[in-house]
């Protein structure tokens, strides 16, 4: 049972435009959501997080939006740069005894120059 889903395996956008990466989850007990970025031959790197009590968190070019009623979050990158080309993982943290991080399968973002 996949509790965190990234249904689109890939996304291609033009440099300078907005990239929108989507993530859906099924467990309403998640209390934190995170995005990680991964380049080839490297480990994932923490990008941005959002608490379940917020609906938006912004850090420079990166903004994460959370829609709890729809159990959906999205990562917006504006403007997109070629260096943003990477695999992006959505992750969610459970609460209490099940507070491990659950990751989605990832989305490969390609930013065309």
Partner 1 sequence: DSGVTQTPKHLITATGQRVTLRCSPRSGDLSVYWYQQSLDQGLQFLIQYYNGEERAKGNILERFSAQQFPDLHSELNLSSLELGDSALYFCASSTEAGLAGIKQYFGPGTRLTVT
Q: Closest distance between partner 1 and the C-beta of residue 91, in Å?
A: 8
Closest CA to 103 of 53, 51, 30, 52: 30
75 binds partner 1, rule: CB under 8 A: no
Answer for which of 27, 52, 57, 102 binds partner 1 (CB under 8 A) is: 102
56 binds partner 1, rule: CB under 8 A: no
Cα distance between residue 44 and residue 46, in whole Å: 7
- Tell me the C-alpha to C-alpha distance, in Å, between residue 94 and each of 32, 52, 54: 8, 11, 16
Cα distance between residue 48 and residue 28, in whole Å: 20
Q: Closest distance between partner 1 and the C-beta of residue 79, in Å?
A: 25
91 three-class SS = strand
C-beta separation of 65 from 11 below 8 A: no
Identity of the residue, 2 or 14, whose beta carbon is nearer to partner 1 in the bound complex: 2
Count residues contacting partner 1 (CB under 8 A)? 25
**Per-residue contact flags (x/-) with partner 1 for residues 6 to 45, judged by CB under 8 A:** x-------------------------x-x-x----xxxxx
Binding site for partner 1 (CB under 8 A): 4, 6, 32, 34, 36, 41-46, 49, 89, 91, 93-94, 97, 99-106
């Amino acid at each position: 049972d996949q509790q965190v889903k990234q249904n689109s395996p890939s996304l291609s956008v033009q440099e300078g435009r907005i990239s929108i990466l989507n993530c859906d989850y099924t467990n309403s007990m998640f209390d934190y959501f995170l995005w990680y970025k991964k380049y080839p031959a490297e480990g994932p790197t923490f990008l941005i997080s959002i608490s379940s009590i917020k609906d938006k968190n912004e850090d420079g070019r990166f903004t994460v939006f959370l829609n709890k009623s729809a159990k959906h979050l999205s990562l917006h990158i504006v403007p997109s740069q070629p260096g943003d080309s990477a695999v992006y993982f959505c992750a969610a943290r459970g609460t209490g005894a099940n507070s491990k991080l659950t990751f989605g399968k990832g989305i490969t973002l390609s930013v065309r120059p």
